[in-house]
Structure 1
Amino acid sequence: MSRTVYVNGSYVPEPEAQISIFDRGFLFGDSIYEVSAVIGGNLIDNDLHLDRLERSLRELDIPMPVSRDDIVAMQKTLIARNEIDEGLVYLQVTRGSEDRNFDYSDTLKPNLVAFTQKKKLQNTAAHKDGIKVALVDDIRWDRRDIKTTMLLAQVQAKRQAKASGCIEAWMVQDGFITEGASSTVFIITQDGKIVTRPNSRVTLPGCTRLAVLRAAAAHDLQIEERLFTADEAYLAREAFLTSASSFVTPVVEIAGHRIGDGKPGPITRRVQQIYLELALKQSAA
């Protein structure tokens, strides 16, 4: 059976989904996307993702295509129709469709599409054993705080990581690690502080990052938001990354440098536990 997807107010079988070749998301990457996790058929951290969706749209002066309540209803309908117990719901809002021109009409109507993916999100091999990450130059544009579909640099970073036997790429600019190709970066110092880069225009304000920081603070874990270099990351006691599609994933090697004893550490395990408990609580609500 094919998936049911959503296109501008209609639920259609995946093979029948259509959008204009003159859509500005296709032509220019003039579009925003979001992805929310699903556990037990329920959305995780969805309010945070919709907050970020609205912010990104405001930054690009793209109107919300439908109300927030309508988006949530649509997400839940897709989850039900596609029988998603565990997985992801993707949303994409483009500025709209019209004949190709760098400038655009002020009255252009945005396009909204959405789809689901079934995916195991809990107790994966990566969660249990940790992953290796590569380091690559950060060559993206300056407004990385806006979650656009302009992801070619991240695609190339992922391919470079894969070629070196890694799962993820962490990007570096001016000697400092910015973020992962599809994740937020954390290290844990030798004295037990959880360190992550503060939000700014050069990184995406991660929703799972925010949920993890709130949960960690509530459990009296030490948190420090600041820049850090690759050399400091090599010397970290532990490291991990976060994202909606991978939750809290231990990192055991960075660019060939083993982190700690090469196994997920106790603080990372604690953060994993805290966040999973929070997610399961949401799924049971």
Structure 2
Amino acid sequence: MTRTIYLNGSWVDEADAKVSVFDRGFLFADAIYEVTAVIDGKLIDYAGHAARLRRSLDALRTAMPVSEDELLELHKDIARRNGIKEGLIYLQITRGVQDRDFVFPPDMQPTVVMFTQQKRVLDNPKWKTGLALQSVAEGRWSQRQIKTVQLLYSSLMKTEAHRQGYDDVLFVEDGYVTEASSANFHIVTPEGAVVTRDLSNALLHGITRGSILDLAQKAGLAAEERLFTLDEAKSATEAFLTSATSFVTPVVSLDGNRIGTGEVGPVSRRLLDVYIRENLERGVPVAG
């Protein structure tokens, strides 16, 4: 059974979904994207993803191709058409099609693509075992707060880390941790505070990141947004990643050094449980 793809206002079979070779997303990586998780037929943290989509488009001076209400209906519709009860919805918007030129006109028609992926989001084995990370030098472009498709460096570094037996990489810039290849990174200090890098152009403004900070504070945990070093990360009692489809994933080692006990800690486990429970309660139903 093939998937139904949304492409520029039409619903097409995945075999027929074609984008021009002159699309600036292909030629210049001039595009942004969002990934929304679906659990139990509900869109998870949808409002945050929609808001970040607008911010990314504004930053690239790309027009929003549909209204907010239409965007939500498209997410519901594509989930229904593909029978997605658990998985993800991928949305990509490029600046559009133009003969290759570094200078682009202000009135281009964006290219919009949406597809679904079946995925057992709630069956993540790393929630039980934790991740092993490798620190690497930051090598991405400087505007990381925009969720662009410029992911080559992250892909190269993560692939090399996998070859060496690690699960992911942790980027470090001027001695300070920024984030992982496709997720925000957090630590728990010996004093019990949840610490994450403060928002700036140095890292993606993760939707799950923001939700976790709110949940930590509601749970009575101290939450700090500040710079922290690689050494501080290695001396943490716990660490974890947050992202749209893996939620809260514990990190148990960094550069071969055990973090805390080297096992999944109680803070990570608690935040994961609370995040799933609360977002299932307030998730946007696909049906209806």
TM-score (norm 2): 0.97
| Contact 1:135–1:169 (CA under 8 A) maintained in structure 2 | yes
Instruction: Report if aligned partners of 1:134, 1:164 keep a CA contact under 8 Å in 2.
Output: no
Shift of 1:284: 7.7
Q: Distance in 1 between matches of 2:244 and 2:123?
A: 14
Q: Secondary structure at the match of 1:210?
A: helix
Kindly tell me the number of residue pairs found equivalent between the two proteins.
285
Give, as a single letter, the amino acid of the residue that structure 2 aligns with 1:73: E
| 8 A Cα contact 2:46 2:284, kept in partner | no
Q: Taking structure 1 as reference, are residues 29 and 284 closer, same or farther at Cα in structure 2, changes over 3 Å only?
A: closer
User: What is the alpha-carbon root mean square deviation over aligned residues?
Assistant: 1.1
- The letter for the 2-side match of 1:109 is Q
**Equivalent residue letter for 2:79:** I
Q: Is the 8 A contact 1:216 1:274 kept in 2?
A: no
**How far, CA to CA, are the matches of 2:168 and 2:86 in structure 1?**
22
Letter in 2 for 1:245: T
After superposition, give the CA deviation of every residue in 1:3-46 in whole Å (9 maximum; x if it has no partner): 11100011111000011110000000011101111001110001
What pairs up with 1:241-252 in 2 under 5 angstroms?
A: 241-252=241-252
Alignment of 1:199-218 (within 5 A): 199-218=199-218
Q: Residue 135 of structure 2 aligns with which residue?
A: 135
1:166-245 aligned at under 5 Å gives the runs: 166-245=166-245
- Distance in 1, Cα, partners of 2:247 & 2:55: 22
Instruction: Measure the CA separation in 2 of the matches of 1:55 and 1:93.
Output: 13
How far, CA to CA, are the matches of 2:260 and 2:216 in structure 1? 21
The amino acid across from 2:84 in the alignment is: I
What CA distance in whole angstroms lies between the structure 2 residues aligned with 1:154 and 1:68?
30
**Distance between the aligned counterparts of 1:33 and 1:167, measured in 2?**
23
Measure how far apart 1:218 and its partner are.
1.5
1:42-74 per-position Cα deviation (integer Å, ceiling 9, x unaligned): 100011001000001001100001111111111
5 Å-filtered alignment, 1:67-78, equals 67-78=67-78
* 1:216-257: CA deviation from partner (whole Å, max 9, x where unpaired): 111211111111111111111011010001100010011111
Q: CA-to-partner distance for each residue in 1:131-167, whole Å, 9 max, x for gaps?
A: 1111111111111001111111111121122122111
Structure 1 contact 40–284 (Cα < 8 Å) conserved = no
For the residues of structure 2 that align with 1:231 and 1:177, how far apart are their CA atoms? Answer: 9
Cα offset, 1:267, TM superposition: 1.1
TM-score in terms of structure 1 length = 0.98
